[in-house]
Amino acid sequence: MTGGYLKGRIRREDIITAAAAAYGELGYHGSSLREIAKRVGISHAGLLYYFPTKEALLAAVLERRDAEDSEREQLTVPPGLAVLRHFVALAEHNVRHPGIVDLYSRLAAEAVAPDHPAHEYFVRHYRAARDGVHESFAALAARGELRDGVEPALAALTFIALMDGLQVQWLTVPGDVDLVGSLRFYLQNLLTVPL
Amino acid sequence: MTGGYLKGRIRREDIITAAAAAYGELGYHGSSLREIAKRVGISHAGLLYYFPTKEALLAAVLERRDAEDSEREQLTVPPGLAVLRHFVALAEHNVRHPGIVDLYSRLAAEAVAPDHPAHEYFVRHYRAARDGVHESFAALAARGELRDGVEPALAALTFIALMDGLQVQWLTVPGDVDLVGSLRFYLQNLLTVPL
């Protein structure tokens, strides 16, 4: 790796970090490339060298977020209790990283509009999250570890929605909301075995 | 009521309607008074006559939202199943008014920042919503209508969070999310009696 290449990578990562912070504070629509360049301490033209459009930079921010999540998730975990415990662990991680949660909540609320450049990302994100949890609830149901009458698809949908809704309330008044305890409460209430 | 006064009231309501639409599309931070004036078809100075600051206009939008909600809610309903059914009815109303839901979700995500002019509004809003539902879950518990081990405070917190989280997912992909069915599923799962 040449010094120039390494310097370029660091600069690129710096821009992504600054963009994530700006999106969290001002929203995607409220953040200009000019403002983000200023935060990094480079010129507008210098930023355009790495990210020629606003959309390209947003895509890089979302890609990094997914890469960080996948790194933490052991994708070899079989469907069932272990997957649910993983989500609780993700919530424990999020409690220590409010900036990431803030960025995610802001973008999710903006990206409900079909013409938002992150819209398709969130459509895929929600489906993948629901499908993953659905599979685990179905496996639990097959083993008799889900309470009678609990429909795995609805349990999955409400679980993902609950995580999102709790995050916004927790960001608003951290002291009022036990993020991790609430998720445990919800999951335990669906199960016939300890979480 | 003089013609001039009536005209003023209508103009004021028009501005609030345009502001709510702009906040939903662009977020509060992304919406300028100039842009809102343009939507109403009046001058910037004309808008400042009614709302001298951005914050004053935001306050009017939130006040109208609360007034509309209170109008629908019968505040005389005693704590218990009837209150929960009210929230399900509110969700049924929201499904027919995605614009209001969009505005609320966008503002809630922006207003997590303590210096956002709607921050205190959301702090109060969440507390009032949780307290109201908590009281009902506690009444149900006292009558043995809540399943064993269901903690009323956590049930209330997760119920409000679930509503918020479901709304964002539903706005993103309406066809994927049964907003009302999911709330019913969640509530029924906590109760020993039919909702």
Q: Give pLDDT tens digits for A159-178.
A: 999 999 999 999 999 999 99
The confidence score (pLDDT) of residue A47 equals 94
Residue with tokens 């609030």: B16
The confidence score (pLDDT) of residue A183 equals 96
The confidence score (pLDDT) of residue B101 equals 87
The confidence score (pLDDT) of residue B72 equals 62
Instruction: Give the mean pLDDT of A16-45.
Output: 90
* Long-range Cβ contact pairs of A36-41 (< 8 A, separation 24 or more): A40/A11, A40/A14, A40/A15
> How close is the nearest chain A Cα to the Cα of B161, in Å?
4
Instruction: Give the mean pLDDT of B172-185.
Output: 94
Confidence band, pLDDT 50/70/90 cuts, at residue A63: confident
User: For residue A8, what are its two tokens?
Assistant: 């370029």
Q: Which ranges of B96-178 would DSSP assign to H, the alpha helix? A: 98-110, 119-142, 152-172
The confidence score (pLDDT) of residue A171 equals 95
Residue with tokens 């999310």: B177
Confidence band, pLDDT 50/70/90 cuts, at residue A102: confident
Contact assessment for residue B87 and residue B133, using Cβ atoms and an 8 Å cutoff: yes
Average pLDDT, chain B: 89
Contacts of A106 (CB under 8 A, 6+ apart): A23, A24, A27, A28, B109, B110
User: For residue B83, what are its two tokens?
Assistant: 């209150």
Q: Round to whole Å and give the CA distance between B87 and B77.
A: 12
How many CB atoms are closer than 10 A to CB A74?
A: 10
* Long-range Cβ contact pairs of B4-8 (< 8 A, separation 24 or more): B8/B50
The confidence score (pLDDT) of residue A69 equals 72
Interface mutation target, options A102, A120, A151, A157, chain B, most CBs of B under 10 Å: A157
The confidence score (pLDDT) of residue A194 equals 94
Nearest CA to B95 out of B155, B160, B163, B162 is that of B163
**Is B156 buried (19+), middle (13-18) or exposed (0-12) by CB count in 10 A?**
buried
Look up residue A191 and give its amino acid. Answer: L
Nearest CA to A9 out of A48, A69, A50 is that of A50
Interface mutation target, options A159, A172, A188, A193, chain B, most CBs of B under 10 Å: A172
- Considering only CB atoms, which chain B residues are within 8 Å of A127? 173, 176
Angstrom CA distances, A11 to A28, A60, A192, stand at: 21, 13, 51
- Whether A77 has a pLDDT exceeding 90, the answer reads no
> How close is the nearest chain A Cα to the Cα of B3, in Å?
39
Would you call A150 and B110 a contact, using CB atoms and an 8 Å cutoff? Answer: no
Q: Strand pairing partners for B29?
A: none
Would you call B172 and A29 a contact, using CB atoms and an 8 Å cutoff? Answer: no
Angstrom CA distances, B48 to A139, B43, B88, stand at: 60, 9, 39
What is the tens place of the pLDDT at every residue in A78-96? 899 999 998 999 899 889 8
- Considering only CB atoms, which chain A residues are within 8 Å of B102? 112
Minimum CA–CA partner of A104 in chain B: B109
Nearest CA to A141 out of A131, A126, A151 is that of A151
Phi, psi at B177, each rounded to 5°: -125, 120
Look up residue B95 and give its amino acid. Answer: V
DSSP A112: T
- Whether B9 has a pLDDT exceeding 90, the answer reads no
Q: Round to whole Å and give the CA distance between A161 and A155.
A: 10
Instruction: Give the mean pLDDT of A98-123.
Output: 88
Contact assessment for residue B36 and residue B118, using Cβ atoms and an 8 Å cutoff: no
Confidence band, pLDDT 50/70/90 cuts, at residue B74: low
Which domains are present in chain A?
1-57 (1.10.10.60), 73-195 (1.10.357)
Residues in chain B: 195
Interface mutation target, options A29, A131, A133, A189, chain B, most CBs of B under 10 Å: A189
